[in-house]
Structure 1
């Protein structure tokens, strides 16, 4: 399928690994020019170098938990290819503070919200004006199964992702008339460095192998995942690329689950 976005400029945050990198790869294969961003300068530049075989890609380090970081990203992206980006894929995020609700202080809550909600607010605010001027735009946020199916041990993350889901719907209403389609992709338990770390910790706590930790996690924590495995990054990236495309010109305000059935209800 021709996605009709060859030659456009995209910004992909959280791009040095995991779902951000996989999304960048899919966009590059469609002829999109990509600005890749993440916190670690060396890592994001290495990722860009590896992806450069697929197309035009530039790298910049930016801390999106601050307004200054978002401004740095915007200034770089606006000049990297000589035109303002019209695609934004916001994959930056962290698991954040976890544990018993009563043991998580304000600092843990605010750090999680800054990374998982406010970073998305800042990047959208930075790039929507250029999309409005172009009368065309695509924004894809990464929510999670946790946005609609919270887990008690990671409530800051759940609350931030629920807020991001609401932001998705709100921005779709605010800027749809400008030709900007705003959607979310909701992955669940994908094979990324984030879930690798979760399973390594679980394996150590239970005294089992990594694979046994994954198997027990699926059985105990994710009974709805009918495929009985972690998802693959490319399975999520394919959904992201579609939502960025001309083929998705009548889809906005949606939360597309790529979760193997993890969410057990019909709630969006």
Structure 2
């Protein structure tokens, strides 16, 4: 098998309104030309829609893990490139900004649907520039998993006037994800949970339910329409509990049980890499 390697990170601005409308691309390299049908892996980071310390580069430990472990070689031979998206963030009380002195292009004041609109703009940029169409796996950690599913659920996620047409992925992988916001608030009493949900979506509890992927899927049936869905859950996750992954029981999706804290999954990279490999293999088999 040819040796797998990942090239240098290239950064692109996919829109001009905000500095966070930015993404990174790592092209794969090998001793033979990458087949044109190989998959892109596109990552959406977490951070409760608001953490400025978690960025597109948080995917680098996972890429390093994928590159260094020989057992991943067969799956990686199916990958054309990796991409990781930033998006506009909501305000964070631990990272205050002076709204009078901060330029609009740097201000973190996003509200739904700003976050999901940015993800769709980033996907459209990638599809237009690199021409891979639907030949990709969309991977999200924490609220990034929420966003990944929201991009394909259509009606109710954004208004028709705000929507951006993108080709749907062949596969989605959600890792330590938030799928049912009302359920999360019911099983986690710490005020920080309600604080970050309200910060991203406002105080309308009906909206929290409407934009929750698990609620939408249960109500409307199999809206993924053939998209492969892989979920990863860590038994050591101190922030997102098991009821979130169990909120999608009727879909028949695969659930990988991981070890490590909520952020350790991406900080160390091995746990997230395991889910990426499984998602790539399952998507390529379909």
Under TM normalisation by the shorter chain, which class is it? 0.3 to 0.5
* Structure 2 length-normalised TM: 0.40
Whichever structure has more helix as a proportion of its residues is 1
* Structure 1 length-normalised TM: 0.42
